[in-house]
Each structure stands twice: as C-alpha cells, then as structure tokens.
Structure 1
Amino acid sequence: MSQHLTDPKHPQDQAEILSEQIKTSDCWTLGIEISPIEIQSGRWMTIEWKIIQLWPDRSSAEKDLQTNPDNRFITFLDLQLYRDERTAYRFNLNSVVPHLFVQCDEDETDNSVIPNEITAAQDTAGAWLDGEHIVLEYPMPDAIQCWLEAYMAEHGELIEHKKKRRYADLDKEKDTGRAKR
C-alpha cells in the first residue's frame, strides 16, 4: 500500500492519511522522503534519486511537514515481512550495515520516481533490479532491526535444506570409475 503526502496546504487530506498508522508483528508502515541529487560525471550533469529520510510513524512525518513544508514528497509504504524470506532477512541483519530497499517506478511526465514497495530482503531487491526497476537503499534504523529480530525469534530461522538426489551415489561411481562395494 502506498500513500503520498505532498501538499501541506490540505491538512484534512494529511490528517486522513496520517490517522491510518500501522505497526504489527509482521507489517510496519514507514514514511519515505526521496529527493533528486545532481551529480556531475565528467562534463555531464545527471540526477540520482536518494532516500533523504525515513519515518517510523506517521505523526513524526506530520510534525516535520508542518515545520518544513517546502516541496516535500513523502510516501508511506508497508514493510511487510514474509516467513519464506527469513533467510534473506538473516543475511541482511548479519551484514555490516543492514539496509532497506525501495522499488520505484519512473514518472516520465516530470522525470521523478515514485516509490512502490519496500523490503528488507536483498533477494527481492535483486529481483527488482533484474526486472530493470529503480531500487533505492537506505541503512536500516536500529528500531526496525530490533523489530525484525523479534519477528525472527517468533517464527524461527528458515533453514533451507538441499534436496538430495536419488541416485547421487551412482554419479560418484561413474566419476571415479569404481563400483561401490
């Protein structure tokens, strides 16, 4: 689910969106602010999009919008956890700097990007990149790391077993040229 706060002049719209705060054991609604950054590459200027801020709840985003209303684009996305991605979550949490990954689509009318999904699984982010989507990353805040650890503790670690091939021993015999006795 994606919701946007872009115009601070319509407080009733913002209040309606902000009242829908969600945080459960497997879903956390986060506010994401993205901004274009101009980067010079040789003689050329290019625009790269970055996540500027991540809000753990809607009320903190609302307070920040009231103090700094200038041309801000904030999107609210649900960070949904899935049991079959536990191995990817553990891999991310064990990395030096765990990250959150945001998949975006390009809006060609104004050359901006629109965040669509967020995940803590690097495998999912890799699939998005393979599909030629724009993927932004942001260091995972400590509070989200603790929440993710609690999810892992509640549901256990996912241990992926390799399926043993039925005739694996026969393949070894062919390779060595000896029969097993």
Structure 2
Amino acid sequence: MSSDMRLPTIARPSVQVAVVMERQARPNQWEAWRFKLIDVVPAEPAFGSAPRVLRDDGTFQRKLYPGFTVELFRDEAEGYHLNLASGAPVWFVVWRSDDEDPSVAWPETVSVSYTEAGRWLDAQERVDNVPLPADIVAWLQGFTEEHYRPEPKQRRRPQSFLAPGDRQ
C-alpha cells in the first residue's frame, strides 16, 4: 500500500453537548466545597468553546462546559442496552477536581454507556448522572436495536453430572 493512500474514516453517530455543573461554598461544617452535576444540554453555537459562569451569588456558582462529543460505538451496544433497560436512562459524566485548588472542578467526559460508566467507577473516578431527554433516548434506542445482539444463553450442565472434583 502506498503511503499516500488513506483509509476511509467511519462516521459514527454522535451528538454535541455541554455540561452544567454547580459549585456550592461551605455546604456544611466538614466541606469547603461541594460539586453537583446539574444537566447535560444540546450544544449551541452561542456557547462558544470555553467554560463560562452562568450564575454566581457567592454561595452557588453554575458553570457551563461546552465542547463534548458523545459518540456511539457498536462494541458498546450492550452498555447502551443496559442504560435503556434500567427504566430511567441517563447521561454519565466523569468529573474531576483540582488537588491544589479544591474550589475548582470540571467535567472530563460524557457517555450513555452503562458499562463504560462501570469501568470508570472501578477506576475510582467520580461519575454522576442526569436523565436523558426523550429525543436522545429515541436516538440511542434506534442505534441499540440495530447493533445490540444478546449473547446466547449457554445451558449449564447440572452439577450432579460433573465429577466431584469439577463441582463448584
């Protein structure tokens, strides 16, 4: 293959979103700051590309973080199915805080995969969630129906048919 040939890029279904987080000063005597995921909203050109403060009254500050792309991958279809099957589908948002300045936190990434969120939690990440709007649920449902194939159930041999050393 010549070096000037390019592989075709595969366009994945995706949606552009922004994350809204809230910071509360001195929520109790043990915490200096508390952070909360408020919403994930469709991206708008007016949001720009830099985070910006929406409101700040000295106690509560709401900040908008634009520029997140949520892509759907066929190999994550089971995670999408689990999210949809939960009865209350959600956005999953990983966020971090600054070790040197505990008054600062920011979202890192956004997903709709239950299994991806589980991997983040296993890695000790902070993961919060907020409900998915109906149009995103429909979009995710369409993709999941097209790509999710449950693994066939395998019949387990009754324990009585196994040698005693092979039994659990």
TM-score norm. by structure 2 comes to 0.69
* 1:60 Cα deviation from its structure 2 partner: 6.4
Which string of whole-angstrom CA distances, capped at 9 and with x for unpartnered residues, describes residues 17-60 of structure 1?
Answer: xxxxxxx76211101111123543xx523533222232212236
User: How far off is 1:106 after superposition?
Assistant: 2.2
Are 1:57 and 2:43 matched, yes or no?
A: yes
Q: Aligned residue for 1:161? A: 152
Separation (CA, whole Å) in 1 of partners of 2:46 and 2:135: 15
Kept in 2, the 8 Å contact 1:32–1:75? The answer is yes
* 1:80-95 map, 5 Å: 80-95=71-86
* Alignment match, 2:6: none
8 Å Cα contact 1:84/1:158 also seen in 2: no
Alignment of 1:33 onto 2:36: no
Distance 1:45 1:115 in 2: 20
Specify the alignment match of 1:124 in structure 2.
Answer: 116
CA distance in 2, matches of 1:75, 1:159: 35
Alpha-carbon separation, structure 1, partners of 2:32 and 2:55 = 26
AA of the residue aligned to 2:143: Y
Bigger helix fraction:
1
In terms of fraction of residues, the more strand-rich structure is 2
- What stretches of structure 1 of length at least 5 have no aligned partner? 1-23, 176-181
Provide Cα deviations, 1:50-73, integer angstroms capped at 9, x if missing partner.
Answer: 2223221223646xx99x576734
- Give the counterpart of 1:110 among 101, 106, 109: 101
* Equivalent position amino acid for 1:32 in 2: V
Task: Tell whether 2:97 aligns with 1:76.
Answer: no
Whether 1:174 and 2:158 are equivalent positions in the alignment is no
Q: 1:60 to 1:95 in 2, by over 3 A?
A: farther
Q: Give the percent of matched residue pairs that are identical in Structure 1 and Structure 2.
A: 23
Q: 1:58 to 1:133 in 2, by over 3 A?
A: same
**CA RMSD for the aligned pairs?**
3.2
Q: How many residues align?
A: 145
User: Unaligned stretches of 5+ in structure 2?
Assistant: 1-10
Please name the residue that 1:152 is paired with: 144
> In structure 2, how many angstroms separate the alpha carbons of the residues matched to 1:118 and 1:69?
23
Residue 92 of structure 1 deviates from its aligned partner by: 1.0
Distance in structure 2 (CA, Å) of the matches to 1:69 and 1:104: 20
